[in-house]
Structures are given as structure tokens and as C-alpha cells.
């Protein structure tokens, strides 16, 4: 008689973990299927946790929150009380770890925003391989189209590409500096 192994649920704890879960291959905002996927990027004067521009140049923005308290503080910001006419956003979502998202009263969300729950499931795949992680996301509330949405124009797209290249360069530079320091430490033992 075969023993059925339980699925283990793992909740994300940081903004970075949720960003990665939403943009990896096969995920909701798969980076390989969109024109631009940018994290922690400033557009329209505000920093966005995740910006996704699809192949038709329509933009979705995701604000990532890891706790109810953080979400409730954020709702008080003027940015969310009005719909900007200068930003090209078509859709706006809040994304939370699943355990937090399930506690949110949908009436607390701004009317036009969507709600995404994100988590990892570890499924048992056999004695040799053990558990295999599968990232899951679910839209708990579908967003409405924002009234002033428009296509991202050429200069905004170039700006996003430029910001992404700068961010990549900054991360690469830090990585190479760290590798150089490690090599120097090893060589001078």
C-alpha cells in the first residue's frame, strides 16, 4: 500500500521572495512573456515594487506587502487615493503571502485594485528526489481597468530599459567587487 505524502505549504516572508515568485518562468508575470519586467523601479514619481509591461505595451503595477500593518499604513498614502492621469497603468494589484492575503477584507482594498496571494508548495515526487517546490499564485480579486490607462510610450519604455540596465550593472558591480575581495582574501591567507 502506497503512503501518500502531504504537500507542504511555505509562506514567503520578504518582498524579494514575492517579486521572484511572480516573475519567474511559468508564473503570473513570467519575464519571458512580457516586454518589460522591472522591480523597485520609479515611474511617475513613485517607486513601484513590480512593473510589468506586456507585449502590447500595457502596464500592470504590483505593490507587494508582507503584512496587514504594512498594507494599512500604505493605504493612507495620497498616491492610492486618486487615479493619476500621468501614469500609464492599466491594472494595479496588491500581492501578499497567502497567509496574509486570506485575512484581508476585500472592502479594505481600493475599489479598482486587484489582490494576489503567493506561496510555495512542496510536493512529494518520490524517495530519491523527495519534495519539489512549485510556486503558486492566485488572483483573489480581479482589478478593474484604471480610467486613465494608456499604452507605455517609447520614451517611457526606453527609460525603463535604462533603469533596468543600471540596476543590473549596480548588482553586477557589487557581485564582482565581492568576488574580487574573496579572491584577494584567499590569495593572501
Q: Tens digits of per-residue pLDDT, 34-44?
A: 888 888 887 76
Looking at per-residue pLDDT, the higher value among 104 and 5 belongs to: 104
Which of the four pLDDT bands, split at 50, 70 and 90, describes residue 84? low
Which of the four pLDDT bands, split at 50, 70 and 90, describes residue 189? low
3-state helix, strand, coil in the chain (%, to 5): 35, 30, 35
Indicate the number of domains in the chain.
2
Looking at per-residue pLDDT, the higher value among 6 and 51 belongs to: 51
Q: Give the integer Cα–Cα distance in Å for 94 and 60.
A: 11
- Both 53 and 119 in one domain: the answer is yes
Looking at per-residue pLDDT, the higher value among 127 and 152 belongs to: 152
Q: Is residue 147 part of a domain?
A: yes
Q: Which range has the top average pLDDT, 62-66, 121-125, 128-132?
A: 62-66
162: cell is: 535604462
- Both 183 and 141 in one domain: the answer is no
- Both 102 and 187 in one domain: the answer is no
- Both 138 and 172 in one domain: the answer is no
Mean pLDDT calculated for residue range 11-23? 87
CA 156 to each of CA 51, 56, 68: distance values in angstroms, whole numbers, following the listed order: 12, 14, 32
Query: Parallel, antiparallel, or unpaired: how do β-strands 8-10 and 114-124 relate?
Result: antiparallel
- Against a cut of 0.85, is the pTM above it? no
Range of the domain at 122: 8-152
184: cell is: 584577494
CA 109 to each of CA 65, 161, 183: distance values in angstroms, whole numbers, following the listed order: 13, 31, 50
- Both 141 and 53 in one domain: the answer is yes
- Both 68 and 109 in one domain: the answer is yes
- Written as one string, the DSSP assignment of 77-137 is SHHHHS--SSS-EEEEEEEEEHHHHTT--GGGS-TT-EEEEEEEEEEE--TTT-EEEEEEE
DSSP code of 86? Answer: S
- Both 143 and 164 in one domain: the answer is no
Query: Parallel, antiparallel, or unpaired: how do β-strands 46-53 and 36-43 relate?
Result: antiparallel
Q: Is residue 75 part of a domain?
A: yes
- Both 174 and 114 in one domain: the answer is no
Q: Give the integer Cα–Cα distance in Å for 36 and 167.
A: 14
What are φ and ψ of residue 177, in 5° steps?
-60, -45
- Both 87 and 140 in one domain: the answer is yes
Q: What pLDDT, on a 0 to 100 scale, did the predictor assign at position 2?
A: 54
Q: Is residue 2 part of a domain?
A: no
Q: What pLDDT, on a 0 to 100 scale, did the predictor assign at position 141?
A: 93
Work out the number of other CB atoms within 10 angstroms of the CB of residue 83: 15
Amino acid at each position: 500500500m502506497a503512503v501518500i505524502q502531504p504537500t507542504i505549504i511555505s509562506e514567503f516572508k520578504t518582498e524579494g521572495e514575492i517579486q521572484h515568485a511572480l516573475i519567474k518562468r511559468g508564473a503570473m508575470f513570467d519575464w519571458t512573456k512580457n516586454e518589460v519586467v522591472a522591480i523597485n523601479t520609479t515611474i511617475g514619481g513613485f517607486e513601484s515594487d513590480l512593473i510589468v509591461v506586456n507585449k502590447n505595451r500595457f502596464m500592470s503595477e504590483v505593490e507587494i506587502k508582507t503584512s496587514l500593518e504594512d498594507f494599512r499604513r500604505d493605504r493612507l498614502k495620497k498616491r492610492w487615493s486618486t487615479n493619476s492621469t500621468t501614469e500609464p497603468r492599466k491594472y494595479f494589484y496588491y500581492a501578499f503571502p497567502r497567509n496574509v492575503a486570506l485575512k484581508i477584507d476585500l472592502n479594505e482594498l481600493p475599489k479598482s485594485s486587484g489582490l494576489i496571494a503567493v506561496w510555495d508548495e512542496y510536493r512529494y515526487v518520490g524517495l530519491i528526489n523527495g519534495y519539489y517546490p512549485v510556486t503558486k499564485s492566485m488572483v483573489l480579486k480581479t482589478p478593474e481597468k484604471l480610467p486613465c490607462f494608456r499604452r507605455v510610450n517609447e520614451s517611457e519604455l526606453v527609460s525603463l530599459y535604462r533603469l533596468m540596465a543600471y540596476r543590473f550593472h549596480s548588482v553586477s558591480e557589487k557581485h564582482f567587487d565581492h568576488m574580487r575581495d574573496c579572491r584577494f582574501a584567499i590569495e593572501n591567507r
